[in-house]
Amino acid sequence: MPEPLLSVTDLTVVYDTARGPVTAVDHVELIVEKGQFTAVVGESGCGKSTLMFAVAQLLNPPARIAGGTVRFRGENLVTLGERELNALRWRDYSVVLQSAMNALNPVATLAAQYKDAMAAHGTHTNEEIRARSSEVLDLVGIDPVHLHSYPHQLSGGMRQRAMIAMALLLTPDLVIMDEPTSALDVVAQRSLMVQIKELQQLLGFAVVFVTHDMSLVSHFSDQLLVMYAGQVVEQGPTRTVFDHPSHPYSRGLLEAFPSIRGPRVPLHGIPGSPPDLAAPPAGCRFTPRCPLVHERCHVSEPALYEVGAARSRCLLHLTEAAS
């Protein structure tokens, strides 16, 4: 069997704080096949962005990778040096950040920024750079005349598209997207999602998409990872998780947003807030907020148990597996 495009094993990220080390990403496993769309969902502070930064080797102190491997196309990114990483970055994997407003350089035109990225990865001539820049802008549905625009001259949706175009400049195999749509309104968000999916099918790159809005990715992703307090609590094919969520947290997330169809029913969301990662609760970390909490949840820490096609970190499924 060929090796997957990206395989993350036992990845642990620690923030060194004055109060001692805080584990933000705790033994996470993730496999992304070529051309697959993977969504990572969870609340603020669950470690989803830290996980992506760790995969892309973009962590800065006080964060550090305390263990585990990130194998990308057969190489362990964790042990690579800065020079080797620089060769891979943007050419083989690229990152689209949450706020394009901050990620783009406000005092340079799009053309200048695209040129920077391309020049750093080879000896392209001006003609090549110009042709490729127009081509990628065209791909995301922006008129190439905007190559000479500054970021402030574009609308929020266009800036996000320009970021995605930039991420595609060197036809990477993997694009990591950290909440690229969260600053947009619903109509712009929907059209951007459809466009990402179309580009992905057209060009065949894999996407890892981080979001707190589970409903957003329901129609777009192949694989879903639900994170809570630094751990993966549920993982499986997107449709399976949506139709039969097996972890109480995924169920809570799914029931947290109102629908525009069907009867109006009172919703309660998930009470409480995520635990302090410096002192996580004993046993299952979801215990304080879980509607199905049981005595043994306070003592034994659940592992990921197989539940059909998915895997779930809940003791409920331990009994099922045993019986």
Partner 1 sequence: MSPLLETIGLTRHFKVGTGLTRSVLHAVDDVDLAIGEREIVALVGESGSGKSTLARLVAQVHKPTRGEIRYQGQPLTAHRGRRAKLAYRGDVPMVFQDPFASLNPAYRVSHGILRGLKLHRPELSGAERQAEAERVVEAVGLTPAAEVLSRFPYELSGGQRQRIGFAQALAHRPKLILADEPVSMLDVSIRIGLLNVMADLRETEGVSILYITHDIAGARYLSDRIAVMYGGHVVETGPTEDVLAHPRHPYTELLLSAVPDPRAPLDVDAAAAKTDPPVVIDPTPSCRFRTRCPLAVDRCHHVTPRLHPVAQGHTAACHVTAPPEGAQ
H or E stretch at 320: helix 316-322
By beta-carbon proximity to partner 1, the closer residue of 48 and 132 is 48
Size of interface with partner 1, in residues (CB under 8 A): 41
Site for partner 1 contains 230 (CB under 8 A): no
CB of 2 to partner 1, least distance (A): 31
Residue carrying structure tokens 């003791």? 315
- C-alpha 323/C-alpha 320 separation (Å) is 5
CB of 249 to partner 1, least distance (A): 9
Task: Among 30, 100, 214, 304, indicate the residue that binds partner 1 (CB under 8 A).
Answer: 214
Instruction: Choose the stretch contacting partner 1; rule: CB under 8 A; options: 3-11, 21-29, 74-82, 181-189.
Output: 181-189
Residue 120 neighbours by CB under 8 Å, 6+ apart: 86, 90
Structure tokens at 277: 């990662």
Site for partner 1 contains 152 (CB under 8 A): no
Q: Which of residues 154-173 bind partner 1 (CB under 8 A)?
A: 155-157
Instruction: Choose the stretch contacting partner 1; rule: CB under 8 A; options: 1-9, 13-21, 65-73, 211-219.
Output: 211-219
Site for partner 1 contains 105 (CB under 8 A): no
Q: Are strands 174-178 and 6-17 parallel, antiparallel or unpaired?
A: unpaired
- C-alpha 221/C-alpha 116 separation (Å) is 31
CB of 212 to partner 1, least distance (A): 5
Site for partner 1 contains 126 (CB under 8 A): no
Distances (CA, A) of 127 to 112, 137, 261: 13, 16, 52
> Dihedral angle at the C-alpha atoms of 282, 252, 14, 48, nearest 10 degrees?
170
Residues 286, 233 contacting (CB under 8 angstroms): yes
Site for partner 1 contains 273 (CB under 8 A): yes
Q: What angle do CA 152, 153, 155 make, to 5 degrees?
A: 85
Site for partner 1 contains 253 (CB under 8 A): yes
CB of 271 to partner 1, least distance (A): 8
- C-alpha 304/C-alpha 315 separation (Å) is 9
Q: Which of residues 27-46 bind partner 1 (CB under 8 A)?
A: 43-44
Q: Which residues make up the interface to partner 1 (CB under 8 A)?
A: 43-44, 155-157, 184-191, 193-194, 212-216, 218-219, 242, 252-254, 256-262, 264, 266-271, 273
